[in-house]
A and B are shown apart, each in its own frame.
Chain A
Amino acid sequence: MSITVTVDGVPVTVEEGATVADAATAAGAYVPTLCFHEDHPALGTCRVCAARLDGRVVAACSAEVHDGAEVEVAADDLATMRRQVVGLLFAEGNHVCPSCEKSGRCDLQAVAAETGMLTSEFPYRYPGRETDPGDARIWLARDRCILCQRCVDLVRDDEGRPVFTLTGRGPDTRVELDHATAAGLSDEQVAAAVDLCPVGAILRKGVGYDEPIGARRFDVASVRERALRGERR
């Protein structure tokens, strides 16, 4: 069943069950996302997709619209919040874009530029995060991890067991790689896990800067362009 909502005052028609992000895209308004993956249920961890639904700030990836809903995306305070959320991520980890293999195809980097972040307004913390080099095929670089939990919630071995898990909590939360389980993954499963990571935290060993500058994913088309043509990931 179709319902009608307004996005920044523009009426659009969407299917019932559509999210705020879906409605925004239908209206041609870009809402940045990081943890959201179109093939999976919303994780709702990164909170970068701040939008307003009937006057309340919501995560656009998971909040559903209803007939007659009023969605706001462009308001200055929302833009500020979205920029602040990516700013928090840059301040919290060690995001050394100049030396990162994922540069140019990193969702965090691309989304940050779209939000207009020049530098983080939060104090940079320079955490000492241990890298886990112990797996034969996967390089886990925690400096870049944004704890989106895609790998934690979505990567499973053939028996349905988790491969990536969390430990600790609060600012000490970190991703762990279960080496024994990871060893049982096929090369295709490893490649899928690497592809799932929106940043350069999960990398395939032996692969480095394999795309030249200018030909990288977001060099070719920006994250905004890709999102607006329905290609979220």
Chain B
Amino acid sequence: MDGPSTTFSASSTASPPTSPPTSLVAPRLLAVHGHDRSRLLDMLWELQRRHGHLPEAELAALADGLGTTLGDVRQTASFYHLFHLRPAGRHRLYLADTVLARMHGYDHVLAALERETGATLGGVDPTGTFGLFSTPCIGLSDQEPALLVDDLVFARLTPDRVADVIGRIRAGAAPREVANPDGIPTHLREYVDALVETNVRTHGPVFFRPRTDVAAVIREAVALPPEKLRERVSLSGLRGRGGAGFDTGLKWRLCATAPAETRYVVCNADEGEPGTFKDRVLLTRQPELAIAGMVLAAYAVGARHGILYLRGEYAYLRHYLAHQLHLMREQGLLGRDIGGRTGFDFDVRIQLGAGSYVCGEESALLESCEGKRGNPRLKPPFPAQVGFLGHPTIVDNVETFAVVTRVLEEGPEWFSRMGTEDSAGTRLLSVAGDCDLPGVHEVAWGTSLHDVLTLVDAPDAYAVQVSGPAGGCVSVARNGHRRLSYEDLGCNGAFTVFDSSRDLLEVAREHLRFFVGESCGICVPCRAGNPALLDLATRIGEGRADASDLAHVESWAALLRGTSRCGLGVSSSRPLTTTLSDFPELARAAAARSGEQGLLASFDEQAAVAAYGPAAERLVAAREEGAGS
């Protein structure tokens, strides 16, 4: 939530456009995108690439062309923290501020960035060259600290590397020349590999095998009737890999049987859960599996259009993925009469997000695809019934689509034999933190926490954040025997290891801070309740909690769980509640330090009265100085 992008004065609403209309880019963009509101994010991205921010005159022109108001366009633009409504520097730098970055030198890297750019965090340097902002996890947990620079990314940063990169840009080099000195074309995998690592540590039976012949899989699948295809997916027992674990075959059937002329297939590549990066790795190493999965879904439900929603932080993947789509079109696997099946037409476009965790929620993602704020919708109806632009829509995770392709290649029984009763198959884990083998590991559902820790070489593991902030902080000593599965310890793929030197209450607080910043703000318990929980977590961590504060943790968490509109608020209290339940000694320690009679421990008397004297002296001195000069 960078200040400049979300605040503007009331009076600016009424001021007329300042640039002469002839210089505007908006009319051309409107023409390119057919004055289609659902392409608003694309147009905003184009404007920002051109101007470095979103000038009001351009937004007003977009509003005119879309038949709406400037306020309405701003309503979308101001929601996404990668969009800037004010000048934000010729180059926009976003340092990932995450628990993992803070474990690996974030402070030093930030200091180096501020020193080298001359910008302070949240602002632009005096020359207008660099805007320096912080951003939540950018999907590089195994190579933090990491920094986005415009559409590029720099990982494993050190202060020296920062000095080198910024120094060269300051000397006139384009960031792409610094990031990609060999000038590798941006649509090649080698380009992605030059920017970031894709650390695949454990190959399992499903992923990262020798190349799947997706053309053969698609040809074979589209020879079946669609209901037969859906049946095979159902038989596999596949459940959605995004976290909720909904039965994939059932979702497809609901979509296919919803009365409608038009249906959509959407791939959720908005991998925003802090600690997760397996979709990025999958999209880099085996994009054809995910895209083929979309094609199969389209055939199974009768969709003609697909959208691959790629988080804005993965912008450096978009040319590569667009090229993959192009290659599939060339092979007749996208476009018309796919796989030789006359009348089966389907194609995919990439929709780039713009910085919003909640857009990973399927209905918020659809709102975003429609060019709106990423506010989750009321459910029911579910997207499979009423989705993109009101049409039945399948929204599945990258990994889910990729699994579908493998299921149809190897057969549903092959898949359902792996894993546990209720959790078929395997799961990709994004492993990071205090272990020797961070990266992507494929494990069968049912593997115990202990066994995963052995696999990733984490002998000193004390706690594991399973499923990221939305999941839970699990004690290895108490719960190491539990098994990753929907029926025991659910896991959306994030697996972050902490040894006993880490301050788990600090971790919980950082995760709550993340949810405060990522709440869409539309429902009361999430918007207003998360800041209250963050205050509680801070007080508990600082030993200033009262007994009533500890009682409030449970009560307020129950409120958010029960009444929030979407999964963000339903799960946002978990960093605090799971840390306190699995590590009760931390709560006791906090309570022991508080609870003195009389004034509440949460009330800091010294701090409350300390400001007055200095303020009085400062104000009077300033006034006297002003009068004297």
Known contacts: A88-B532, A92-B527, A170-B527. The answer to whether A177 contacts B13 by CB under 8 A is yes
Please indicate the chain A residues that have their CB under 8 angstroms from the CB of B1 in the complex: 168-170, 172
Q: Is B14 an interface residue (CB 8 A)?
A: yes
Please indicate the chain B residues that have their CB under 8 angstroms from the CB of A50 in the complex: 562-563
**9-residue interface stretch from B34-42, B69-77, B284-292, B431-439:** B69-77
Cβ–Cβ contact B78 & A170, under 8 A: no
Please indicate the chain B residues that have their CB under 8 angstroms from the CB of A81 in the complex: 558-559, 562-563
Cβ–Cβ contact A44 & B528, under 8 A: no
Cβ–Cβ contact A88 & B69, under 8 A: no
A154 → B minimal CB distance (Å): 14
Cβ–Cβ contact B13 & A45, under 8 A: no
Q: Is B103 an interface residue (CB 8 A)?
A: no
Please indicate the chain A residues that have their CB under 8 angstroms from the CB of B14 in the complex: 134, 179-180
**9-residue interface stretch from B199-207, B229-237, B517-525, B587-595:** B517-525
Cβ–Cβ contact A178 & B527, under 8 A: no
Bound-state CA distance A163–B70 (Å) is 10
Cβ–Cβ contact A176 & B71, under 8 A: yes
Known contacts: A91-B528, A165-B74. The answer to whether A47 contacts B13 by CB under 8 A is no
Cβ–Cβ contact B528 & A92, under 8 A: yes
Cβ–Cβ contact B519 & A171, under 8 A: yes
Please indicate the chain A residues that have their CB under 8 angstroms from the CB of B71 in the complex: 162-165, 176-178, 181
Cβ–Cβ contact A134 & B565, under 8 A: no
Cβ–Cβ contact A125 & B531, under 8 A: yes
CB < 8 Å: which of B69, B78, B524 contacts A48?
B524
Cβ–Cβ contact B524 & A146, under 8 A: yes
B467 → A minimal CB distance (Å): 22
Bound-state CA distance A164–B501 (Å) is 50
- Chain B's interface size range is 35 or more
Bound-state CA distance A176–B11 (Å) is 11
Please indicate the chain A residues that have their CB under 8 angstroms from the CB of B78 in the complex: 166-169
- Residue among B11, B67, B531 with max Cβ neighbours from chain A (10 Å): B531
Q: Is B6 an interface residue (CB 8 A)?
A: yes
Please indicate the chain B residues that have their CB under 8 angstroms from the CB of A176 in the complex: 10, 13, 71, 74-75
Number of interface residues of A (CB under 8 A): 50
Cβ–Cβ contact B535 & A42, under 8 A: no
Proximity string of chain B (527-562) to chain A, C-beta cutoff 8 Å, 1 when within and 0 when not: 111111001000000000000000010011011001
Q: Is A99 an interface residue (CB 8 A)?
A: no
Please indicate the chain A residues that have their CB under 8 angstroms from the CB of B79 in the complex: 166, 168-169
- Residue among A80, A125, A132, A180 with max Cβ neighbours from chain B (10 Å): A180
Bound-state CA distance A133–B11 (Å) is 9
Q: Is B7 an interface residue (CB 8 A)?
A: yes
Please indicate the chain A residues that have their CB under 8 angstroms from the CB of B532 in the complex: 88, 91, 122-123
Cβ–Cβ contact A173 & B527, under 8 A: yes
- Residue among B74, B78, B523, B563 with max Cβ neighbours from chain A (10 Å): B563
Cβ–Cβ contact A42 & B378, under 8 A: yes
Q: Is B8 an interface residue (CB 8 A)?
A: yes
Cβ–Cβ contact A122 & B528, under 8 A: yes
Please indicate the chain B residues that have their CB under 8 angstroms from the CB of A125 in the complex: 531
A83 → B minimal CB distance (Å): 10
Output the nearest chain B residue to A180 by Cβ-Cβ distance.
B14
CB < 8 Å: which of B7, B378, B519 contacts A169?
B519
Q: Which of B550-584 contact A (CB under 8 A)?
A: 552, 555-556, 558-559, 562-565
Bound-state CA distance A80–B563 (Å) is 12
Please indicate the chain A residues that have their CB under 8 angstroms from the CB of B522 in the complex: 45, 147, 149, 173
CB < 8 Å: which of B70, B530, B552, B555 contacts A178?
B70
Bound-state CA distance A172–B525 (Å) is 14
Q: Is A121 an interface residue (CB 8 A)?
A: yes
Cβ–Cβ contact A47 & B563, under 8 A: yes
Bound-state CA distance A146–B79 (Å) is 18
Cβ–Cβ contact A46 & B521, under 8 A: no
Bound-state CA distance A161–B524 (Å) is 26
Please indicate the chain A residues that have their CB under 8 angstroms from the CB of B524 in the complex: 45-48, 85, 88-89, 92, 146-147
Please indicate the chain B residues that have their CB under 8 angstroms from the CB of A173 in the complex: 520-522, 527
Can you list 18 pairs linking A and B with CB atoms under 8 Å apart? A46-B524, A85-B525, A85-B563, A89-B524, A121-B552, A122-B528, A123-B535, A133-B10, A147-B524, A161-B72, A163-B71, A166-B75, A166-B521, A169-B78, A171-B530, A177-B13, A178-B13, A179-B13
| Other A-B pairs beyond A50-B563, A147-B524, A161-B68, 12, CB < 8 Å | A44-B523, A77-B558, A84-B525, A134-B11, A134-B14, A163-B69, A168-B6, A168-B521, A170-B518, A172-B6, A178-B69, A181-B71
Give the 5 A-B residue pairs with the shortest CB-CB distance, closest first. A173-B521, A57-B562, A178-B71, A165-B71, A168-B6
Chain B residues within CB distance 8 Å of chain A: 1, 6-11, 13-14, 67-72, 74-75, 78-79, 356, 373, 378, 516-525, 527-532, 535, 552, 555-556, 558-559, 562-565
